[in-house]
Amino acid sequence: DSDRFDDSKMPVSALNALVVLGELDADDPNMNLDAGKIQRARLVTVFCSLVLALLIYCWARKLYGLCGSMLSLTTYAFAPNILAHSRLNTTDLYAALSLTLVLYTFWRFGAKENLKWGSACALSLGFAQIAKYSSVFLFPILGAVVLIQNWKALHHSYAEKYWPAAGQMVVRFAAWASVFVGATIHLPNNLTHPSRS
């Protein structure tokens, strides 16, 4: 029941069905699933685990060089939770990938505030929202990071009563916040599927 708020099945779970899409029977209550199809469906999660490994390697290489990136990749590859969940048809790996992608793109956006990284971060934040309900906590976390990063400049502008600089920061924050929130808006079913209303 995708209309339930607390349903554990997230939209991203449908990615696992891509591998066996042509073989599923929607009229069959079990959708004609067998052990072979379930094993092949797990390949999508394995692929996402490899993408996450590549992201960790690239991010660590930018921060710490080759040795640091190899250590990070090795730590990821032998982590018990990754070994356990990288082969299951669950949303846990998708959540880990989307969370890491949000943090990486946000880090790049913070270093170079431009449309490219702002859009990438907003889209990855939207992807995170369809991967796991707990991803909603990224909004206050990212907001707090921005506030902490800009606190000194805001405090200085307030202390010096230099209102234009403070106003520019607030307007810039509001503009980017609207882009980030706009990328995650979910339309009700009666708007996205008018025939259901």
Q: DSSP of 86-100, one letter per residue?
A: TTSSSSHHHHHHHHH
Question: Residue 79 in 3-state DSSP?
Answer: coil
Among residues of the chain, what percentage have pLDDT more than 90?
Answer: 27
The Cα-based distances of 116 to 13, 62, 90, 119, 180 in angstroms read 28, 18, 31, 5, 13
Structure-token pair, residue 13: 């779970």
pLDDT-derived band at 26, boundaries 50, 70, 90 = low
- Interatomic CA distance for residues 6 and 133, integer angstroms: 8
- Interatomic CA distance for residues 98 and 123, integer angstroms: 10
Is the torsion defined by CA of 100, 106, 108, 114 positive or negative?
positive
DSSP summary character for residue 17: G
DSSP summary character for residue 8: S
pLDDT-derived band at 105, boundaries 50, 70, 90 = very high
Higher pLDDT, 5 or 76: 76
Closest CA to 42 of 10, 96, 86: 86
- Interatomic CA distance for residues 148 and 106, integer angstroms: 14
Q: Which long-range contacts (CB under 8 A, 24 or more apart) does 166-174 make?
A: 173/146
DSSP summary character for residue 104: H
Structure-token pair, residue 139: 């909004």
Most confident range (mean pLDDT) of 34-43, 61-70, 76-85 is: 61-70
**What is the model's pLDDT at position 156?**
73
* pLDDT one-digit tens code per residue, 114-164: 889 988 999 999 888 888 888 889 989 998 898 888 788 777 777 777 667
Question: Which amino acid appears at position 71 of this protein?
Answer: L
Plot region of 187 (φ>0 → left; ψ -120 to 50 → alpha; else → beta)? beta
